Amino acid sequence: MTGIFSNLAFRLARWQNRLGLAQNRCVHCLRPFSPLLPAGEAQASQGHARAIANTSTKISTAAFTDNQLCPSCAALLAPYTGPRCPRCGLPPTNPHEGNVLCGACLQSPPPWSAVAFHGLYQNALRHILLRFKFDGHLYLAPLLGGFMLDAVACLPWPDAIAAVPQHPDHLRHRGYNQAHELAKALHKQLGVPLSTQLLTRPVPGKEQARLGAKARHSNVQHSFCASPAAKGLHVWLVDDVMTTGSTMTAATKALLAGGVTRVDAVFIARTPRNTPN
């Protein structure tokens, strides 16, 4: 009998959805909308994404965006598909250059092996990340974690996920680490082990967003420390935004110095040239 009632409830939810009677509120524009997938089907799609992750099959973000974003905002927050530097993700000045190494990476290649990110840090994506990072809208973490699913499909499977850590004083002041919230969401969706001990930040520094490019580099040098448990691991290192790459560089170097065999940089957004923080 339980199965019969569950099936009837699922069919009722589907018809309510088709008739526009079941509505969600878009987490970006906050307007009500009718999702493309009923909750039951969305959960099934999420389970399927986790099941196929280890096969390196292309993972779709549809199950995560269809129930949380209205069609208009989903289009505004679609993945960036344009040309980029394959090492740092920076879009070229001339879009006709294609996916070629930028001058900075030719002169001084970054220490990570590959990058994966969802979009450019501008417009709607910048707005939603500012709300997440500075306004404490942590309910956005599953959505942003879903954004990363398509991005990481190009990467080899890691042994662990780690977030770029904050200094304890900074963490106490803000109350949360946005990078950890993203890493936790990715861990929940893919099942990759999440470690909070592989990388720590014992040396404090100023808020990177308030500094220029040169100051950012010196601000984070020698700030991070890797645990002995990191030795021999392949790690996805997660952050919210990459601007100059100084923080990711310092954190990656610390992991490699601790014996990590490979680090891939995973983040939501890449700051293009001449974009405010």
Domain boundary among 43, 76, 109: 76
248 and 195 in a common domain: yes
Contact indicator for 263, 112 with CB cutoff of 8 Å: yes
Residues 104 and 229 reside in one and the same domain: yes
Q: How far apart are CA 173 and CA 189, in angstroms?
A: 29
Identity at 94, one-letter amino acid code: N
Per-residue model confidence (pLDDT) at position 95: 77
| Model pLDDT for residues 149-198, shown as the tens digit of each residue | 889 999 999 999 999 999 999 889 889 999 999 999 999 999 999 999 99
Report pLDDT for 8.
57
Structure tokens at 250: 């310092």
The per-residue pLDDT for range 4-18, each reduced to its tens digit, is 544 555 465 555 555
Alpha carbons within 13 angstroms on the beta-carbon side of residue 15 total 5
- The residue range of the domain holding 127 is 86-270
Q: Are strands 234-242 and 262-270 parallel, antiparallel or unpaired?
A: parallel
Statement to judge: residues 11 and 108 lie in one domain: no
CATH number of domain containing 182: 3.40.50
Same-domain status, 214 and 156 = yes
Looking at the structure, tell me whether residues 210 and 92 fall in a common domain: yes
Please tell me whether residues 140 and 198 are part of one structural domain.
yes
Q: Which of 76, 103, 120 lies at the terminal end of a domain, its last residue?
A: 76
Same domain, 263 and 166: yes
pTM: 0.80
How many helices (H) and strands (E) are present in the chain, helices listed first?
A: 11, 9
Of 155, 140, 160, the residue nearest 58 (C-alpha):
155
Low-confidence ranges of the chain (pLDDT < 50): 2, 5-6, 10, 39-60, 208, 211, 216-217
Is residue 276 domain-resident? no
pLDDT of residue 56: 40
Nearest residue to 267 (alpha-carbon basis) of 138, 88, 106: 88
Beta strands in 126-261 (DSSP E): 160-163, 194-195, 199-200, 225-226, 234-242
The verdict on 242 and 123 lying in the same domain is yes
Residues 99, 194, single domain; the answer is yes
Residues 133 and 17 in one domain: no
For residues 254 and 225, is the Cβ–Cβ distance under 8 A?
A: yes
Number of domains in the chain: 2
Q: What is the pLDDT at residue 170?
A: 86
CB-neighbour burial class of residue 202 (10 A; exposed 0-12, middle 13-18, buried 19+)? exposed
Residue where a domain terminates, one of 76, 98, 115: 76
- In terms of domains, do 153 and 251 share one? yes
Within a domain: 275: no
Give me the pLDDT at residue 237, please: 98
pLDDT of residue 40: 44
Give the up-direction half-sphere exposure of residue 172: CA atoms within 13 A in the CB hemisphere: 4
Measured from the Cβ of residue 123, the count of other Cβ atoms closer than 10 Å reads 12
Q: What's the rounded Cα separation, in Å, for the pair 74 and 71? A: 5
Q: Which of 267, 23, 29, 39 is nearest to 144 (CA)?
A: 267
Is there a single domain that holds both residue 120 and residue 6?
no
Query: CA 119, 121, 126, 131 torsion: positive or negative?
Result: positive
Q: Rounded distance, CA 122 to CA 275, Å?
A: 7
